[in-house]
Structure 1
C-alpha cells in the first residue's frame, strides 16, 4: 500500500472519529462519549470479554458442517532412497512408523463417499497417488489409516481408495453439476500445503461451467487432453487436489484438480464436475480400471507437419488446415481392419470434425466398445470414408 493510500485511510478514520464526537455533543453528552464506547469493563474496572453471543451461521457454515467430517487428507508414500550413513544426514521424520522404508513424498485431499460393510471408499485425484508404494488416509479426527488403491485413471485424473469403515461417521453426498448456475456459492475443503492445514475451508463462487482446460497427462510438455471443468474463485492451493468443491447444501459438485498459478493470475481454480466424476468413480470401484475404445494408431497433428512434407508426402489439399495424420497402425487393430493406413489424414470422426489429436481422442472416448463409427480421411489427396467397429485395448489410442 502506498503512502498516499495510508494517509487517505488515516484521514477517513480521523474524520469518522470527529463526526462521532460532534454527534455526541449535539445529543447533549457532556463527556462526548456514548455509553457503548466505554467498552466491556467489569466491576473492578478491568476490560473483559463480552458475553454476547453472535449468531454467525450462514449457508457456508452449514455446508461445511454437512461434509467436513467426510473430508480427508491423502498421503503418498514411496520407498526411501537408501542412505549408506543410516539416518545421519537425513531426518527421522522422513520415515513413517511401522513403514521404515517408506517416506511421505506428497499429500493431497479426498472425501469418503460410500460405506459398504467394513469398507469405506474415498475419491481423490490420480496425480495425488501417482507413483505411490503405499497410501495413507488421515481422517478429520486425526486418525491415520492405511488405504488400498482400488483404481485410478490418468485421463480424468480420478482415483478411488478403500479404507476400513471402523472410524467413519460421515460420508459425502454428490450434487448435480449439470444444474450449476454461474455466480452461485462454492466452497473448497481440503489440506492445502499438507496435513498441518487439514480441513481448511475457502469459499467463493462458481465462476464458469464447462470450461475446456488443456492438460498434459504425461508431463512431456505437450497438451494431450482437454478436461471439461468447473471454474471457481474459491482458493485452491497445492494439497487441495482431490478434495471436494461443494455447493451451499454441502453436496459435492466437483473434485478439485488444478489451478492457474502465475504471478498475474488470481482466483482461477478448476474442479472435475460431479456428474462426470461419478461415472468414472463407479467404474473404478467396480473393476479397478476404465475400459475405453481405441483405434490402434499412432498420430501426429497435421499442424506439426511442414508445408514441404504436406505437399511432397501427404498431398494435402490446400484448403485442409487441420486433421490428424496417422503415423502408424497397430497390426490386428480396429483401424487396420477398417483399412486405415500410415499417412492417412483423419478429418472427421463419428460425424464430428477433428483438427488435432486432443479432439480425436475425446471423440474416441465418447464412443462405446462395440459401436460402429464412420471416419472420414484423406489419402493421397482424395477424401475417403470407412466404418470402424470400436473395441477395447490397452493401447493409448
Structure 2
C-alpha cells in the first residue's frame, strides 16, 4: 500500500513538474518579450524563412538542380572578342566571356573583365545563339578588373540575376559558365564549390614586379580556364555570385580559381555604366615605396632618420592638384594618413579607396629633409 501511494505521489509530482515547466516557459517568453518591448527593441523571429544553407540543402536534394541552374543562366552568358588595329588591319587579339545583366529598351548591358577588353579598338559580343553584335565600351576599371559593354538588345533573350553576396557560403555549389579556349567551347559549364571567401590577391598593375593593389575575390575549385574570364559563377538558383576573373596557373596547383564577388562588382558596374569610370579619391602625386630605395640613398639624399624604413616617396606633384594645394613637394616621404601607418603604396591606396571618399580632408604625416611635419589635404576626383 505504501509503495502504491509512493508511485502515485511521484506521478503527481511529474505532472505538476511538467505543468510548472510549461507555465515557466510561458512566463519566460512573456518576461523576455516584455523586457525587449520596454527597451524599445523589436525582435522578429521567422522560423518559416529558409536560410541560405537551407535553400542549398533543398536544392541539392533535386537531382536536376545543376541542370536547371545552367539552363536558367547560360543564355545570359556571352562571348567577348577583343579586336585591335595592326599593320595588317584589324584582327582578333583575344576572347573572353561576359554576362548580360540588364536590358533597358533597345539597349542591353554586359559585364566582363577589364583584361578581356584592354587595348581594344573594337569589341564584339557573341550571343548564346551565335549572333554577333558590336559593343560599345561604356567603361573599364583596372583595379577591380571589371568592364561594362553596351549592345543592341534586339537579340537578347535572357538577363542574369545577381545574388546577394551575404548569402554566399563556403562549401556551397558553384558553377562556372563561359567560353574556355575561345568560342570553340562556347557555353561550357564546370561545377565545384565555393572554396573560400574574402581572399585578397596581390596584383602588379604597372609591371614593376611589385604589388600595387589587392583584389578581393571568391575562391572556387570549379574549373576556370582561359576564355572563361568575365563569365558567370552561379549558385544552384542560377544567380550570379561572382564574375570569373583568374586562376593560379602553376604545375603544382590544381583547382584554385577566383571570381569577383557581387558586393565588390555591383557598385563598380553601376559607376562604369553611368559615368564610364569609378570615382575614387585622388591626391595628384606619383609615388614609390620607400622599401624599394637603397638605405644609403634614404639617409644621404633624403636625410631620413634611420628608423623610417617604410612609407611612400613623392616622385612628382601634379600642377593644380590637391597635393600641390596641400604644399606637398617632390622627395617628401608620407608615413601616415589619418594616424594610420603607410607601409607601402598599396596600403595608402587601400586606405584612400576603402576608408575615404572624394571631398574628404585627410591628415598626412610627412618627412621633408629629415624633419617630420603634418599637412592636411582635401581629396579630389581624377
Pairwise TM-score range, normalised by the shorter structure: 0.7 to 0.9
2:46 paired residue number: none
Residue 359 of structure 2: which of 365, 370, 374 is its match? Answer: 370
Superposition RMSD in Å: 1.8
Alpha-carbon deviation of 1:111? 0.7
1:313 aligns with 2:301: yes
Which structure 2 residues correspond to residues 1-397 of structure 1 after superposition, within 5 A?
57-82=63-88, 101-366=89-354, 367-393=356-382
Tell me the distance in 2 between the aligned counterparts of 1:195 and 1:238. 11
Alpha-carbon deviation of 1:125? 0.7
Alpha-carbon deviation of 1:56? 8.2
Tell me the distance in 1 between the aligned counterparts of 2:223 and 2:367. 47
Alpha-carbon deviation of 1:292? 2.1
Tell me the distance in 2 between the aligned counterparts of 1:275 and 1:181. 14
Which secondary structure state, in structure 2, belongs to the residue aligned with residue 332 of structure 1? coil
Answer whether contact 1:350 1:363 (CA < 8 A) is retained.
no
Tell me the distance in 2 between the aligned counterparts of 1:180 and 1:108. 25
Alpha-carbon deviation of 1:383? 3.1
Which runs of 5 or more residues in structure 2 are unaligned? 1-60
CA deviations 1:33-75 (Å, max 9, x no partner) are xxxxxxxxxxxxxxxxxxxxxx983432232122111010101
Alpha-carbon deviation of 1:218? 3.6
Alpha-carbon deviation of 1:103? 2.0
**How many pairs does the alignment contain?**
321
CA deviations 1:179-200 (Å, max 9, x no partner) are 4222222111100000010111
Alpha-carbon deviation of 1:241? 0.5
CA deviations 1:284-330 (Å, max 9, x no partner) are 11122222221111111110111111221223333333111112222
Alpha-carbon deviation of 1:178? 3.5
Tell me the distance in 2 between the aligned counterparts of 1:59 and 1:353. 49
CA deviations 1:314-351 (Å, max 9, x no partner) are 23333333111112222221112112222222122234
TM-score under structure 1 length normalisation: 0.77
Tell me the distance in 1 between the aligned counterparts of 2:188 and 2:370. 58
1:23 paired residue number: none
Tell me the distance in 2 between the aligned counterparts of 1:331 and 1:112. 41
